[in-house]
């Protein structure tokens, strides 16, 4: 198993947060997104998703040749996993193990396997800066399968903790989110945090993949090294944005492929 860094000519993975429908509530256009992306971050039932949705999402990913990853989260269906929570270490580790186990079983039933882990929402943001949370998540993942890749922000505490736990790591950029001058994401509650202009997003990501630079909200350039680019499945017009990003990258000669594959 190999995690591939950026190369020349460049290649990149496209990922999206999918399987986030719940019961009778439908969210996103997963079928259309799975025709575009190379990796699917599948919700594991804590912030969104249910067993039937998980299974149908993984089944379609297999048909499309899309890599499956576990999108683990705080137990927060009401807040879509985007509310900060103070979860004790033993409980947090158990929650991550539980979610991984659920998606692993679904993947086996559909003839594939989970290849990586990407925390969702508040858990992602907290683990990026909070060492205790980052260590808890990494330890839980390593206890289940030390071959799983941790996907996260470049230079984050989360990736450092994962590496220290012996996990492979991969860095991601966000197509539909604005960046601060420090290279962090602009909080969702602030104006301009979410980008939904497909042409603007595609141009930003083509520049990032080919030069390693993204323009921050203050107009300065920020260096961003990424193995994967995320388009959130619940962003307005997400599928159209993902399609435009793909077309811009492919049109410029960038190769699209999962960031993990068997060597």
The domains of the chain, with CATH numbers, are 8-261 (3.20.20.370)
State mean pLDDT over 136-154. 97
Backbone angles phi, psi at 28, to 5 degrees: 80, 170
pLDDT top residue among 100 and 29: 100
CA 40 to chain centroid, in Å, comes to: 8
What pLDDT is recorded for position 204? 94
What pLDDT is recorded for position 187? 87
Residue-level length of the chain: 263
pLDDT top residue among 81 and 26: 81
pLDDT classification of 114: cutoffs 50, 70, 90:
very high
Residue whose entry in the numeric block shows the structure tokens 């190369």: 7
pTM (predicted TM-score) = 0.92
**pLDDT tens-digit readout, 46-72:** 999 999 999 999 999 999 999 999 999
Q: Which two tokens stand for residue 157?
A: 């505490």
**pLDDT tens-digit readout, 90-113:** 999 999 999 999 999 999 999 999
What pLDDT is recorded for position 2? 52
Q: What mean pLDDT is reported for the chain?
A: 92
Quick one: which of 145, 40, 45 has its CA closest to 99? 45
DSSP letters along 52-66, please?
A: HHHHHHHHHHHHHT-
For residue 238, is it left (φ>0), alpha (ψ between -120 and 50) or beta?
A: alpha
Name which of 80-94, 97-111, 155-169, 226-240 the model is least confident about: 226-240
State mean pLDDT over 135-163. 97
pLDDT at 16 > cutoff 80: yes
State mean pLDDT over 203-208. 94
Q: ∠174-180-186 over CA atoms, to 5°?
A: 65
Q: Which two tokens stand for residue 252?
A: 């410029």
Q: Give the pairing type, strands 169-174 and 228-230.
A: parallel
DSSP code at position 116: E
Collapsed DSSP state (helix, strand, coil) of residue 83? coil
State mean pLDDT over 70-76. 98
What pLDDT is recorded for position 27? 75
- For residue 185, the cross-strand partners are 179
pLDDT classification of 8: cutoffs 50, 70, 90:
low
What pLDDT is recorded for position 260? 87
**pLDDT tens-digit readout, 249-262:** 999 999 999 998 76
**pLDDT tens-digit readout, 186-201:** 988 898 899 989 999 9
Q: What is the C-alpha to C-alpha distance for residues 207 and 185, in angstroms, rounded to an integer?
A: 18
Contact 68, 115 (CB under 8 A): yes
User: Which residues, 6+ apart, have CB-to-CB distance to 24 below 8 Å?
Assistant: none
């Amino acid at each position: 198993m190999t995690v591939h860094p950026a190369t020349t000519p460049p290649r990149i993975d496209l990922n999206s947060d999918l399987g986030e429908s719940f019961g009778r509530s439908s969210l996103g256009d997963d079928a259309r997104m799975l025709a575009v992306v190379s990796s699917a971050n599948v919700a594991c039932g804590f912030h969104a998703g249910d067993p039937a949705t998980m299974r149908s999402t993984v089944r379609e990913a297999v048909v499309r040749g899309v890599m499956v990853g576990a999108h683990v989260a705080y137990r927060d269906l009401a807040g879509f996993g985007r509310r900060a929570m103070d979860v004790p270490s033993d409980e947090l580790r158990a929650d991550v193990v539980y979610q991984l186990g659920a998606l692993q079983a679904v993947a086996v039933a559909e003839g594939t396997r989970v290849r990586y882990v990407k925390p969702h929402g508040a858990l992602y943001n907290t683990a990026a800066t909070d060492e205790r949370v980052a260590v808890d998540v990494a330890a839980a993942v390593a206890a289940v399968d030390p071959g799983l890749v941790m996907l996260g922000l470049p230079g984050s505490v989360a990736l450092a903790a994962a590496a220290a736990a012996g996990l492979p790591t991969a860095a991601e950029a966000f197509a539909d989110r604005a960046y601060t001058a420090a290279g962090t994401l602009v909080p969702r509650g602030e104006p301009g945090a979410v980008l939904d202009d497909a042409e603007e997003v595609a141009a930003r990501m083509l520049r990032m993949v080919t030069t390693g630079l993204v323009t921050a909200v203050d107009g300065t350039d920020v260096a961003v090294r990424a193995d994967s680019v995320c388009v959130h499945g619940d962003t307005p017009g997400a599928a159209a944005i993902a399609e435009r990003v793909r077309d811009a990258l492919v049109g410029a000669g960038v190769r699209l492929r999962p960031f993990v594959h068997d060597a």
